[in-house]
Amino acid sequence: MADILEVHHLYKAFGGVKAVVDVSFNLKDGQLLAMIGPNGAGKSTCFNLINGQLRPDHGDIFIMGKNVNGSKPRDVWNLGVGRTFQITSTFASMSVLENVQMAQLSYYKRTKSLLQKVGRLYVDESMALLKLLGIEDQAERACGVLAYGDLKRVELAVALANKPKLLLMDEPTAGMGPSEAQNLMELTKDIVHTQNIGVLFTEHDMAVVFNHADRIIVLNRGELAAEGTPDEVQANEKVKEIYLGHGEPAGIGKKELIPADSKEA
Amino acid sequence: MGFYLVQFLTGLSDASALFLVACGLSLIFGVLRIVNLAHGSFYMLGAYIAFSLIAYLPQGAFFFWTGILLAALIVGLVGVILEVFLLRRLYSAPELFILFATFGVVLMVQDLSRWLFGAEDILGQMAPGLEGSIDIMGTLLPQYDIALIVIAPLILVGLWLLLNRTRWGILVRAATEDREMSSALGVNQTWLFTTVFFLGSCLAGLGGAVQLPKGGANLLMDLNMIAAAFVIVVVGGMGSIPGAYLASVIIGQLNSFGVLIFPQSTLFLMFLAMAVVLTIRPHGLFGEIEAEEHAAAQTAGTVLKPASKKVRLLGLILLILIFVLPVFVGQFTLVLMTEIALFALVSMSLYFLMTGGMVTFGHAAFFGGGAYSAALLVHHLQTPMELAIFFAPLAVGLLALIIGWFCVRLSGVYFAILTLAFAQICWSVVFQWAEFTGGDDGLLTIWPSKWASEKIVFYYLTMVLCIGGILLLRFFIFTPFGYTMRACRDSALRVDSIGINLRRHQWLAFAIAGVFAGLAGGVYVFSKGSVFPDEMAIPRSFDFLFMVLLGGVETLFGPVAGSAAYTWLHDKIARFDFWQLAIGCIFIFLVVAFPRGIAGSVHNRFGKFFED
């Protein structure tokens, strides 16, 4: 297993607010790495730094050995990184199939082509992806009218269209019911293991995290608070403190407690 | 020294009316999220009504200022009528439709003002007690200019107090920041919208009224002012009142000193200043970045499909009809059909841009640019028609590359207004560079080559070029590039994260649209035999936009249907004296009755029938 993503001493501040402070971690292929932490811990900032939407103040990010500091999201995608968003972002006036075809067109560098209709270009590859995610029966429907759970799947299909080595998933199951969420993550895990992709994901649903992550990193107030396997993280006193709120400001509700049954599930 | 000081003070007094109009526009945009094109008309109405009131009321300073304030209130009430009876029905319609309803109002107010107040320019009454001038180091400054200089900061402070120290002001600021949230918190939107529209309209009316002693009243005030007010609002930043003041002062000074450096090119300078500001600060001096991604909602759920067998058959029948038409109709109809075809090509190129999320307010620059390129080649170099028609699209393509380089950095309303600005620059160059372009007199006797001089031959030539162009653009929409355009419109974020350079694709689309609009312009000039600056002016750009909207944005046949309907209608109505009034009414009626356009409504009604 090789390091797909290496993050070294990442810093990012917005004015006086230190969003990410000296965060380092790495991710190997075939691995699901969950990034957790209370609201405002710096998860989304971390994501946007890796994805190229934000520039770090200090530190380095290597994707497959290449330093991507200051790269734009489109450059990061071209390295073989797929991204899904917390709030889904798809092409609403295009069908599900066309959304995936669009990603393929970009992957094969055909977006400036004016000489040929799209027609059935990359339809087979795209349908295969839709089938993999179980939404092939939605192929002809416009994304603008799709149910939220299906949109999340479309995003994943789009993210997989460039045969990525790294997937960045920002709250992949937000807005889904519990069983649908578990199903989607089960599916993601299968794909990741068979295609040998590395996944970094954030998630608020602890059942999803502890059931599916191979490793977990915990952020708190921008700093890396803990790192390890689900068992190690669950046993970590510091993590308990963060989530239970000892000595922390009030406002972190009981909902975010690590569920007691997650280990058995 | 005194001269420059007076020039500076004149600039400040010019800034006054600009500021009053612009801050009203900005306020309305901030809360209602609509670009009210009729705002310039309110300014004009303010001037006319103030003139009539002052003439009617007794003499004296008290009645003079009463007249001015009353005029502002009356214009405010006109605004309320517009908001309550028209705009309120349209808030759920796409932004562009509201824009068009307000443009309909512009046309109506134009003709109503001509009817009520006459076509002659009116010289405003002097303000009693302020008729004289004061001597500033040897240069004279009218006393009334001092009054104007004082009025704008007073209104600025008044507005600031109103917005920051009253409950109503807090509601306005809340709605500007987040309309949904303020509505969820139980703010009465209906009431808030109407009061904001009232205040905004009052300010526009006041602007027109206070400049009366200085500038009088005429029928060109509305479009001149709306263009200037746009510039100020975007330079200052949408929704920012202090920004509007700063921008007014900048533009006022630019006008005042610009005259000294480049006489008669103040318009050019003003728009150039805006282009520079928007390139450096895309959201204006005091503007904030707006939430993106609301354009997508308008088209959500409609997937563009290639033509079904039945639609193809219908197209074929139409082609045959076009081919055999000259046998059955006279020359007059052929000329009309030629015009329809040319406008359809322009509308289609505009539609092509719109599939990429780029709603331009300046498409006339490309159409007129093509017409002028061809005409100038013929006029100065005696180029034959064939070559002129060949070079016109290339010249416009180049122009589009230059304009596009600036414009694709922006999106939404800012994009639209920057395109308007560039079109206005092109127009002012053509209008003012009389020795090269003929200026207002245009370029005449641009006739086709001998072989094409028969109307029927020219008809076939136009049809071949236009139908070819339309089909090619239609084809482009289904190519990978066309898909990419729609993707860019739907979600900039997603496009970026699947490795696509959005700006570069939009830039290319801009050039392609320019080439086709330029082709239409090049042919157009030979069909008319002449070209005038009007072909590049703001109303022309809106004609094209309206053709697309009339046809409906959700169907590929829309632009063609819209051009045909609009050109035919225009031809029938333009013979009447008050035709703008009629067109304005029709604009408004169509927008209210067919919010999805003609072709969109047909599609709704008969869409199932045409499926395979």
Q: What is the pLDDT of residues B20-33, one digit of tens each?
A: 999 999 899 888 88
With respect to residue B606, please indicate whether it lies within any of the assigned structural domains.
Answer: no
The answer as to whether B290 is a domain residue is no
Q: Facing residues of A167 across strands?
A: A82, A199
For B134, phi and psi rounded to 5 degrees?
Answer: -115, 150
The reply to whether residue B480 touches residue A110, judged by beta carbons under 8 angstroms, is yes
pTM of the model: 0.86
pLDDT at A113 over 50: yes
Residues of chain A with Cβ-Cβ distance to B508 below 8 Å are: 112
Determine, yes or no, domain membership for B299: no
End-to-end Cα separation, chain B, in angstroms: 78
Going by pLDDT thresholds of 50, 70 and 90, the confidence category of residue B290 is low
Q: Give the torsion through C-alpha atoms of B600, B603, B604, B609, to 10 deg.
A: 180
Q: Is B382 within the bounds of a domain?
A: yes
- The reported pLDDT for the residue numbered B293 is 39
Among candidates A77, A93, A112 on the partner chain, residue whose Cβ is nearest the Cβ of B499: A77
Quick one: what percent of chain A has pLDDT higher than 90?
Answer: 51
Assign residue B179 a region (left: φ > 0; alpha: ψ between -120 and 50; beta: otherwise): alpha
Cα A148 to Cα B433: distance, rounded to the nearest angstrom? 58
Residues in chain B: 612
Tell me the pLDDT tens digit for each residue of A212-230.
Answer: 999 999 999 889 999 999 9
Closest to B491 (Cβ–Cβ): which among A89, A103, A162? A89
Secondary structure (DSSP) of B521-533 = HHHHHHHHS-B-G
Tokens of A248: 């922390």
pLDDT in tens, B335-388: 999 999 999 999 999 999 999 989 998 999 999 999 999 999 999 999 999 999
For residue B102, how many other CB atoms are within 10 A of its CB? 24
pLDDT band for position A1 (50/70/90)? low
CA distance B498 to B511: 24
Residues 6 or more apart whose Cβ sits within 8 Å of residue B517? B345, B346, B349, B350, B363, B366, B367, B369, B370, B396
CA dihedral (B117, B264, B282, B200) in degrees, to 10, reads -20
Check if B484 contacts A (Cβ < 8 Å): yes
Contacts of A204 (CB under 8 A, 6+ apart): A36, A171, A174, A256
Most confident of A86-100, B112-126, B360-374: B360-374
Least confident range of B164-178, B202-216, B262-276 = B262-276
Q: Is A122 on the interface with B (CB under 8 A)?
A: no
Q: How far is B515 from chain A (nearest CA, A)?
A: 15
Residue B563 lies in a domain: no
Model confidence pLDDT, tens digit, residues B487-502: 999 999 899 999 999 9
Determine which of A48, A71, A111, A112 to mutate to test the interface with B (most B C-beta atoms within 10 Å): A111
How far, in Å, CA of A92 to CA of A94, rounded?
Answer: 6
Q: Is residue B548 part of a domain?
A: no
Going by pLDDT thresholds of 50, 70 and 90, the confidence category of residue B406 is: confident
User: What's the pLDDT at B435?
Assistant: 86
- Report the half-sphere exposure of B421 (CA within 13 A, side-chain side): 30
Which tokens sit at B565? 């309907």
Q: Return the pLDDT at A179.
A: 87
The stretch B544-567 carries a mean pLDDT of 85
pLDDT in tens, B298-328: 444 567 777 888 888 988 999 999 999 998 9
Cα distances (Å, whole numbers) of residue B304 to A95, A140, A245, B59: 9, 11, 53, 65
Query: Is the distance from CB of B462 to CB of B455 less than 8 angstroms?
Result: no
| Average pLDDT estimate for A238-263 | 57
Is pLDDT at A36 greater than 60 in this prediction? yes
Please give the pLDDT value at position B417.
80
Where in chain A are the domains?
3-80+164-262
pLDDT value for B414: 78
Question: What whole-number distance in Å separates Cα of residue A52 and Cα of residue A75?
Answer: 8
SS3 call for A124: helix
Residue of B555 and B370 predicted with greater confidence: B370
Amino acid at B131: E
Contact A91 B480 (CB under 8 A): no
Query: In this structure, which amino acid lies at residue B413?
Result: V
- Kindly state the average pLDDT of the residues B558-577: 89
pLDDT at B532: 96
Per-residue pLDDT for A39 more than 80?
yes
| A60-65 long-range contacts, CB within 8 A, separation 24+ | A60/A6, A60/A7, A60/A8, A60/A9, A60/A10, A61/A5, A61/A6, A61/A7, A61/A8, A61/A10, A62/A3, A62/A5, A62/A6, A62/A7, A62/A8, A63/A4, A63/A5, A63/A166, A64/A4, A64/A165, A64/A166, A65/A3
Please give the tally of structural domains in chain B: 2
Cβ contacts of A169 within 8 Å, gap of 6 or more: A83, A84, A156, A159, A188, A199, A200, A201, A202
pLDDT tier at B421, thresholds 50, 70, 90: confident
B301:A116 CB<8 A: no
Backbone angles phi, psi at B142, to 5 degrees: -60, 140
Residue A235: per-residue pLDDT? 86
For β-strands A215-220 and A32-36, DSSP reports them as parallel
* Contacts (Cβ under 8 Å, ≥6 apart) of B520: B342, B343, B345, B346, B349, B367, B370, B466, B469
Q: Is residue B35 part of a domain?
A: yes
Domain boundary among B168, B200, B226: B226
- B44 touches B225 (CB < 8 A): yes
Chain A residues closer than 8 Å to B294 by CB? none
Contacts of B399 (CB under 8 A, 6+ apart): B365, B366, B369, B426, B514, B518
Domain final residue, candidates B205, B226, B247: B226
Class of domain A3-80+164-262: alpha beta
Size (chain A), residues: 265
Confidence of residue A247 (pLDDT cuts 50, 70, 90): low
Q: Residue A261 pLDDT more than 70?
A: no
Q: Which of A179, A216, A181 is nearest to A200 (CA)?
A: A216
Per the structure block, which two tokens stand in for A45?
């900032």
Contact predicate B463/B341, CB 8 Å: yes
Residue A95 DSSP SS3:
strand
User: In chain A, which residues have their Cβ closer than 8 Å to the Cβ of B297?
Assistant: 92
Q: What is the pLDDT of residue B265?
A: 65
Mean pLDDT of chain A: 87
Classified as helix, coil or strand, B140 is strand
B480–A121 CB contact, under 8 Å: yes
CB contact under 8 A, A145 and B300: yes
pLDDT band at A260 (very low <50, low <70, confident <90, very high): very low
Q: What is the mean pLDDT of residues A43-58?
A: 89
**Domain range enclosing B417:** 332-537
Instruction: State which of A113-117, B251-255, B368-372, B546-550 shows the largest mean pLDDT.
Output: B368-372
Q: Does B89 touch chain A (CB under 8 A)?
A: no
Give pLDDT, residue B289: 62
In terms of Cβ atoms closer than 10 Å to its own Cβ (0-12, 13-18, 19+), residue B199 is: buried
Residue B135, Cβ neighbours under 10 Å: how many? Answer: 10
Within this chain, do residues B70 and B201 fall inside the same structural domain, yes or no?
A: yes
Q: Would you report the helix, strand and coil content of chain B in percent, each value rounded to 5?
A: 75, 0, 20
Last residue of a domain, one of B490, B505, B537: B537
CB of B490 less than 8 A from some CB of A: yes
Separation of alpha carbons B163 and B156, rounded Å: 10
Above 70 in pLDDT, residue A246? no
Average pLDDT of the segment spanning B468-485: 95
Q: Taking all residues of chain B, what is their mean pLDDT, rounded to a whole number?
A: 88
Please indicate if any CB of chain A lies within 8 Å of the CB of B498: yes
Choose among B304, B489, B494: nearest Cβ to A89: B494
Q: Using the 8-state DSSP alphabet, how is residue B58 labeled? A: P
Name the residue facing B301 among A51, A116, A142 (closest C-beta): A142
Q: Is A218 helix (H, G, I), strand (E, B) or coil?
A: strand
Q: Which position has the token pair 């991507």? A: A68
Nearest to A94 among B486, B493, B497 (CB): B486
CB atoms within 10 A of CB B134: 13
Which chain A residues contact residue B300 at CB under 8 A? 92-93, 142, 144-145
pLDDT over threshold 80, residue B295? no
CB contact under 8 A, B499 and A78: yes
Indicate whether B611 pLDDT > 70.
Answer: no
Whether residue A33 is predicted with pLDDT greater than 60 in this model: the reply is yes
Q: Does A108 touch chain B (CB under 8 A)?
A: no
The tokens 């319609």 sit on which residue?
B93
Distance separating alpha carbons of residues A92 and A145, to the nearest angstrom: 8
Percent of chain B whose pLDDT exceeds 70:
95
Residues B490, A92: C-beta atoms closer than 8 Å? yes
| pLDDT on residue B33 | 82
Extended strands (E) in chain A? 3-14, 17-28, 32-36, 58-63, 66-67, 81-84, 166-170, 198-202, 215-220, 223-228
Please give the Cα distance from B29 to B215 (Å, whole number): 27
Residue at B463 is within a domain:
yes
Round to whole Å and give the CA distance between A149 and A48: 23
Residues B23 and B158 in one domain: yes
How many Cα atoms occupy the beta-carbon half-sphere of B80 within 13 Å? 13
pLDDT tens digits, A121-177: 999 999 999 999 999 999 999 998 888 889 999 999 999 998 999 999 998 888 888
